[in-house]
Amino acid sequence: MWLGVAAVVIFIFLWFYKKRAHFPDIMLLSDTVTAKGILDRLPVIFTAIILGLIIIVLMQPTVIRSITVDQRARDFLVVFDTSRSMRHDTNVRREELELRFERRAGTFSTAVDDPNALPMLARYELARESLLGFLSQRKAQDRVGMIFFNDNAFTMSAPTANIDFVIEQLASMDEYVNWGTDIALAMETGLNLFDRYPQQNKKAVILLTDAEAAYTKDVEQQLTRLASMGVSFYLLWITTDENDMSNEEVEKFLNFARTVGTVVTIENLDARNLENTLRDISRLEGYSYQETRRERINLSEPFLQTARIMIILWLFLVATFFHPSTGRNFFKGGNI
């Protein structure tokens, strides 16, 4: 706006200065005009309009409007429990399932070199194999992030559409399966990821854990933060007995989780129940939804385009119809 004020002041000053000045060759102008009245002032009029348009462009006027768009992409964050308890055996024998990832058997307390020497699949093995089906169902626009956690939280992948990279991180899970279960730290790390990598896609957090940990207020704070962000939440609780709630802290954690999202009990983990649950989550998190976005629109572009066209017209007029040489027949003596 100050540009406009400055321009007006300059124009007023020049106008009054013009009135007091005398053009020495006024007869030259009078004799060379090709038209009378407003037509002989077209270059001046065009010049004033062009200057006005340029001032508007320099002011960079914008407007913000809300638009509703159809969204068909999702952001999923998988928070994977890799605590020591995830080594516990399931009821699935190793030969019953074709595995994508081979267990690194010698990395734990059972000192064997051959994974086949461990006849039963561990919880974490079965869980990561089930995740393969979930990842293969993702659309090209979807983004998936992954966090492993025990006493610490390890960001294996920020939200990315490169699903092959996420799958590669699953292959390295064995070395992280140790120590305790800090769910609060894992959730904080995951929500911080959403803050660092914002996108308009609808978001969902999938927490996969056996919940064999003490409940703390820090977990409640992170779940409350998750709810305030409008993020969908799914807790997949792996347990051997749903009715065994001997740990009061775990029961408190599960009850609070139900207030902010969906808790699915995976009792006696087998080759199909976790995979089916992940498939159900994909269906629940439907892809057809509408979202309102705020869009900034630059209003200066049409003014700039108009100024460009008028500059071309101005050059055309000054170089042809309003050039002094076109009025040479009006000069006394017949030449300039």
Q: What is the pLDDT of residues 20-38, one digit of tens each?
A: 555 555 555 566 555 556 6
Residue 157 zone, left/alpha/beta (φ > 0; ψ -120 to 50; rest): beta
pLDDT tens-place string over residues 45-63: 888 899 889 988 888 888 8
184/217 Cα distance (integer angstroms): 9
237/97 Cα distance (integer angstroms): 22
Query: Do residues 236 and 286 share a domain?
Result: yes
Query: Do residues 178 and 259 share a domain?
Result: yes
Kindly compute the dihedral angle of the four CA atoms of residues 71, 78, 134, 293, in this order, to the nearest 10 degrees. 0
Query: Do residues 53 and 187 share a domain?
Result: no
Cβ neighbours of residue 198 closer than 8 Å, sequence gap 6 or more: none
Task: Look at residue 289 and tell me whether its pLDDT is greater than 60.
Answer: no
Query: Do residues 162 and 286 share a domain?
Result: yes
Query: Do residues 128 and 88 share a domain?
Result: yes
Query: Do residues 312 and 282 share a domain?
Result: no
CB atoms within 10 A of CB 208: 26
Burial 218-239 (b: 16+ CB within 10 A, else e): ebbebbeebeeeebbbbbbbbb
Residue 117 located in a structural domain = yes
Query: Do residues 160 and 22 share a domain?
Result: no
Closest residue by Cα to residue 58 from 1, 112, 12:
1
Query: Do residues 32 and 118 share a domain?
Result: no
Query: Do residues 171 and 232 share a domain?
Result: yes
Residue 115, token pair as written in the block: 């994974």
Query: Do residues 223 and 80 share a domain?
Result: yes
Query: Do residues 208 and 245 share a domain?
Result: yes
Q: Which band of pLDDT confidence, cut at 50, 70 and 90, is reported for residue 179?
A: confident
How many distinct structural domains can be found in the chain?
A: 2
Residue 217 located in a structural domain = yes
Can you tell me the mean pLDDT for 68-74?
Answer: 68
Residue 140 located in a structural domain = yes
The CATH number assigned to the domain holding 217 equals 3.40.50.410
Residue 336 located in a structural domain = no
Residue 271 located in a structural domain = yes
pLDDT tens-place string over residues 221-268: 999 999 998 899 999 998 866 565 557 777 888 888 999 999 998 888
Residue 237, token pair as written in the block: 């609780």
Residue 335 located in a structural domain = no
Query: Do residues 308 and 288 share a domain?
Result: no
Residue 274 located in a structural domain = yes
30/86 Cα distance (integer angstroms): 97
106/108 Cα distance (integer angstroms): 6
Q: Which band of pLDDT confidence, cut at 50, 70 and 90, is reported for residue 123?
A: very high
Q: Phi and psi for 35 in degrees, rounded to 5?
A: -150, 160
Residue 36 located in a structural domain = yes
String of DSSP letters for 90-139? EEEEGGGS--SS---GGGSSS--S-GGGS-EEEHHHHHHHHHHHHHHT--
Its pTM stands at 0.64
Q: Where would I find the H helices in the chain?
A: 2-20, 26-32, 42-59, 123-136, 163-171, 183-196, 217-228, 248-260, 273-284, 300-319
Q: Which domain holds residue 52?
A: 2-61+299-330
